[in-house]
Amino acid sequence: MSFELSYKNYEKLQKLFLRYPKKSAATLPALWIVQEQEGCIPMDAFEYLAKELETTPMEVYKTATFYTMFHIAKPVGKYHIQVCKTLSCMLNGRDELIKTVEKTLGIKPNETTKDGKFTLSLVECMGACGGAPMACMNETYYENLTPQTLEKIIKELQ
């Protein structure tokens, strides 16, 4: 069966188009709608979205794969821990943060805990270099992290 938006989300998408000069300009919020519905962007959603956005599946795919916040074909856990791996964070303790997640949850980067609760990803700079090392838990930024503060945050969510 091919991908379809729920009726409610289809209506949401149609309303979204009213805010943009052309339908393809709504690619990012359209991808959000799909991800909220499915927990990721299923591969067959690209063709569906391309039709709705009056563009090509490749254009939608290129946009989705450019941004790390979109999860292609594979859902992430309820809590998505994204540890910044770029220079400032690397120099200020990134590796200790990664080890802390691995030790606390028993997962490596790009893995999800068996209960589906946590996924660990390593990402490029998230623009919070002044607070390095940092990690993001879903949409919340945590800066100036230490292994102890990160472990505490994770334990509170377990």
- Binding residues for ligand FES, rule: CB under 6 A, are 84, 86-89, 125-129, 132, 134
Nearest distance in Å: CB 22, ligand FES:
34
Q: What sign results for the dihedral spanned by CA atoms 5, 11, 16, 22?
A: positive
Q: What secondary structure does DSSP assign to 115-136, as a single string?
A: TS-EEEEEES--S-GGG-S-EE
Nearest distance in Å: CB 89, ligand FES:
3
Name which of 30 and 122 has its Cβ closer to ligand FES: 122
Nearest distance in Å: CB 146, ligand FES:
15
What 3-state DSSP class applies to 140? strand
Closest CA to 27 of 1, 68, 58: 58
What 3-state DSSP class applies to 141? strand
Q: What secondary structure does DSSP assign to 22-86, as a single string?
A: SGGGGHHHHHHHHHHHHSSB-TTHHHHHHHHHTS-HHHHHHHHHHSTTS-BSSPPPSEEEEEE-S
Name which of 105 and 128 has its Cβ closer to ligand FES: 128
Nearest distance in Å: CB 153, ligand FES:
17
Name which of 38 and 143 has its Cβ closer to ligand FES: 143
Name which of 53 and 84 has its Cβ closer to ligand FES: 84
Nearest distance in Å: CB 64, ligand FES:
22
Name which of 50 and 135 has its Cβ closer to ligand FES: 135
